[in-house]
Amino acid sequence: MVNFVGAGPGAVDLITVRGRKLIEEADCIIYAGSLVNPGILAWKKDCCEVYDSSRMSLPEVIAQMEKAERDGKMTVRLHTGDPSVYGAIREQMDALDERKIPYAVCPGVSSFCAAAAALQMEYTLPGISQSVIITRGAGRTPVPERESVRSFAAHRAVMVLFLSSGMAGRMAEELMAGGYSAETPCAMVYRASWPDEKIVRTTVEKLEQAAADAGITRQALIVVGDAVAQKDYDFSKLYDPAFTTGYRKGTSS
């Protein structure tokens, strides 16, 4: 059995209870050593085999899973954040399907959630934004034109850019060309939830300079949109005294 486990954004205690239990039971762990906090490995059994996938190719990862399965061992494939967001798990699952190796997925806390916590912000503010766009800029790996940062910017919803902090200047140009004003608030969160977490608040127009001043070139999320300011929003109708729900009758003013 192979279990894909979301390791969370970085802090050791932000893994799920289920994820920790799977790590404690694993006979073999393959983890993304360049991103996953190694402190999480403290829960493994002494006899557990550990492999750093940052030094492995996909065929090597699959070969190790296949070997563990032949030996009757349970493997945990440990991914940063939540495996469903830029986790490259589909190609692994397809390879396991071909080999008839069973697998399951344990979700994790994504870094975009940890970034919001660090910024103490609500992404979906009534009257400001009710949608969150999770995307990335086109770098060495292309992005379909219909999903470009520029095209998404036309919505002016909250946008969270993964894997894009190293090209902050280009992202700022795309964001403004697509529809965000130069004064739109944005933030960069470096290594959200890690001990060396860093937060930079700025505007779209000043994003490149802010990133340079902070020395941020990787491992940071860019959060863009009016909601970043966390002001001038409407109160939720759900808790409005005059609003009737299935559990509470509203009162007239």
Residue 2 φ/ψ, nearest 5 degrees: -115, 130
First vs last C-alpha separation in the chain: 59
Residues 6+ apart with CB under 8 A from 185: 201, 202, 203, 224, 225, 226, 228, 229
Q: What span, in angstroms and rounded, lies between the C-alpha atoms of 243 and 189?
A: 37
Other C-beta atoms closer than 10 Å to the C-beta of 217 total 13
Say yes or no to pLDDT of 62 above 90: yes
Bridge partners of residue 227, in order along the sequence = none
What percentage of the chain has pLDDT greater than the value 90? Answer: 88
- Which tokens hold the place of 89? 């798990």
Say yes or no to pLDDT of 252 above 80: no
The pLDDT, as a whole number, for residue 241 is 82
Residues 157-200 pLDDT 10s: 999 999 999 999 999 999 999 999 999 999 999 999 999 999 99
CA distances from 105 to 4, 54, 112, 205, 228 (A): 5, 20, 19, 40, 32
Report helix, strand or coil for 90: helix
**Cα three-residue angle 27-193-5, rounded to 5 degrees:** 25
**Of 36, 29, 19, 35, residue with least CA distance to 76:** 29
* Helices 168-178 & 207-214 angle (0-180, nearest 10): 160
User: Average pLDDT in the 34-51 region?
Assistant: 95
The pLDDT, as a whole number, for residue 253 is 60
pLDDT band (50, 70, 90) for residue 140: confident
**Of 86, 78, 85, 74, residue with least CA distance to 106:** 78
The pLDDT, as a whole number, for residue 251 is 87
The alpha carbons of the chain give a radius of gyration, in whole angstroms, of 21
Instruction: Judge contact between 32 and 79, C-beta under 8 A.
Output: yes
Residues 6+ apart with CB under 8 A from 21: none
Query: In a 10 Å sphere around its CB, with 0-12 CB exposed, 13-18 middle and 19+ buried, how is residue 145 labelled?
Result: exposed
Residues 85-110 pLDDT 10s: 999 999 999 999 999 999 999 999 99
The pLDDT, as a whole number, for residue 248 is 81
- Whether pTM > 0.75 for this model: the answer is yes
User: Average pLDDT in the 24-40 region?
Assistant: 95
Helices (H), 149-233: 149-153, 168-178, 207-214
Q: What span, in angstroms and rounded, lies between the C-alpha atoms of 130 and 181?
A: 19
Residues 194-240 pLDDT 10s: 999 999 999 999 999 999 999 999 999 999 999 999 999 999 887 77
Better-scored residue on pLDDT, 140 or 67: 67
